Chain A
Amino acid sequence: MKLIEVKDLKKYYNKGAIKALDGVTVDINKGDVMVVIGPSGSGKSTFLRSLNLLEEPTGGEILFNGVDITKKKVRNAEGKMVKLDIDQHRQKMGMVFQHFNLFPHKTIMENMTLAPIQVKHMSQADAEAKAIKLLERVGLGDRADAYPIQLSGGQKQRIAIVRALMMEPEVMLFDEPTSALDPEMVGEVLEVMKELAEEGMTMVVVTHEMGFAREVGNRVLFMADGKLLEQGTPEEIFSHPQCDRLQDFLAKVL
């Protein structure tokens, strides 16, 4: 079942002199673990950030559950044109950033419960109970009252993942989640992501971890110069790359 349909997505800067995204078309199905790879500057992050409109695309469509979220107005159930509430759609898309972006002035518990309480109007007791459960799942049950600065990078990123899970998203977007981590902490974060994938969460992951792409991903996209050059199963991409750019890229990173 299609969860997100991306049609001819474009993001131009400077009157089109810079084409960060140059017509990307792809479907993301429920349960997909889609890994996006490519050289830096290829538009991977722009593509991912466009999916929940952190970047506003200059052209194309993004259909999320059948609703085009790039439009300012949508037709509601009664057929009337109403203003599109992007906040509502963003709730259903969890996002994990390269630099964690935890709220430094709030404790871990507050980081996790703020949005559920304010946006979903969950009671504080329910939100905290849920947060404790998630924290225990990632092995950080005893750090609920710590501040982000007291945690290591790997711990921060695990918190960032469960903070996004608090909103019960339908899809999780990962923007180079391990690129800012010390090498020995990469494993603990990938482990959490792997568990998430095994539970059937739909995931879009921009990463340089080829091992993860090969092992956990069920689809791999290769992007370069803002274009989607090749896509397929990890087996197809890594063992039988078709285009020259991909062969070059793999020769450099593998």
Chain B
Amino acid sequence: MGSSLITAAGFAKAWRYKQMFVDGLVCTVSLSLLTVILGFILALFLAVLRLSNWHPFRGVALDKNGYLCNNSFRILLSKFNPLSFLASCYVEIFRATPMLVQLFIIYYIVFANVPLPTFKLFGSIRFDRFLPGVVALSLNSGAYLCEIIRSGIQSIDGGQTEAARSLGMSQVQNMRFIVLPQAIKNILPAIANEFVTIIKESSICYTIGVQEIMYAVASIKGATYRIGEPLIIATLVYFCLTFPTSKIIAYFEKKMSAGDRRNGNEGAKKAKRKSAEVLNEQERTKAKM
């Protein structure tokens, strides 16, 4: 088995097929980006369901005088929230089954009878394989991101909501200005982790013939009988994708944590507002003239 030995000649051979890596990279990036976006939207939706406060059977626990009855089944039923229950079911099923199984079910069962257009994205990516891959990855990462978002929202001290509401802010304003900014700051490391996981896990789509980086490796192996060198190149490409991703998110994390630092940049902000005041003053004098 000469192919397992890594040689310069092997790299030279593999390098002749570099266009396949470029196509694979484009495919992996678009696969991951779409998954991140769709997964995040799905996760937000699921998190809202998980945290919803809808109890349609609330009434069954009350007797005709309006007091709570002693029937424990009726009390259980009154606390039942179908929306939260469905979202929990979804999350638990997707977290408890292998990604590969989910991918195969989506591709071989769900999309088996759906005629997908067979055009090629960016000239090389087969859409009828790409779409089921995106769907499977999004459904999976949505389940994980949902739990991250939910835990982030629940990690914010209830006193924050009480303070916001007591100032007259609505529940929506409270979420938008007070809870979510703090929650997102808290969960950014976990989100970064999930994004990196998506990039890496997208390689599994190779099994249904999505032409991403691992597909390029397999093709080059078939053409050159070399496996080591293409794999090393693929490793480097993945690293170059994931490492900057986590670094970029770490940068945002630092930016958002201004309120955590005791030696914050009070001076800079003050100067900024001073200059804004000066501008305001100038505008006012202009208006007077």
CB distance from A98 to the nearest CB of B (A): 9
Q: Does B197 have its Cβ within 8 Å of any Cβ on chain A? A: no
Q: A150-B263, A167-B168 are in contact. List 14 more A-B contacts (CB 8 A).
A: A90-B166, A90-B167, A91-B167, A95-B162, A103-B164, A104-B182, A107-B269, A109-B273, A120-B168, A145-B269, A145-B270, A147-B259, A150-B266, A163-B167
Residues of the A chain whose Cβ atoms lie less than 8 Å from the Cβ of B165: 54, 87, 90
Q: Does A106 have its Cβ within 8 Å of any Cβ on chain B?
A: yes
Write the chain B residue with the least CB distance to A119: B168
Asked if B249 is an interface residue, CB under 8 A from chain A, the answer is: no
Given contacts A52-B166, A103-B178, contact A149 B260 (CB under 8 A): yes
B207 beta carbon closer than 8 Å to chain A: no
> Contact: A105 with B166, CB < 8 Å?
no
Residue of B nearest to A14 (CB): B68
Q: Using A87-B168, A104-B260 as known contacts, say yes or no to A146 and B266 having CB atoms under 8 A apart.
A: yes
B residues contacting A by CB (< 8 A) are 67-68, 157, 159-160, 162-170, 173, 177-178, 181-182, 185, 256, 258-264, 266, 269-270, 273, 280
Does A7 lie at the interface of the complex (its beta carbon under 8 Å from any beta carbon of B)? no
B177 contact set on A, CB distance < 8 A: 114, 118
Q: Which residues of B contact A105 (CB under 8 A)?
A: 181-182, 185, 256, 258-259
The answer, yes or no, to whether A228 is at the interface (CB within 8 Å) is no
B178–A87 contact, CB under 8 A? no
A182 CB to closest chain B CB (Å) equals 17
Within the assembled complex, what's the spacing in Å between the Cα atoms of A90 and B173? 14
- Judging by beta carbons under 8 Å apart, are A15 and B67 in contact? yes
A54 with B68, Cβ < 8 A, contacts A119-B173, A150-B262 known: no
B170 contacts across to A, CB distance below 8 A = 87
In the complex, the answer to whether B266 meets A145 with C-beta atoms within 8 Å is yes
Give Cα A110–Cα B154 distance, bound, in whole angstroms.
23
The interface residues of chain B lying within 8 Å CB-to-CB of A15 are 67-68
Nearest-Cβ distance from residue B257 to partner chain A, whole angstroms: 8
List A residues 122-165 near B (Cβ within 8 Å): 125, 128, 144-150, 160, 163-164
Residues of A within 8 A of B67 (CB): 15-16
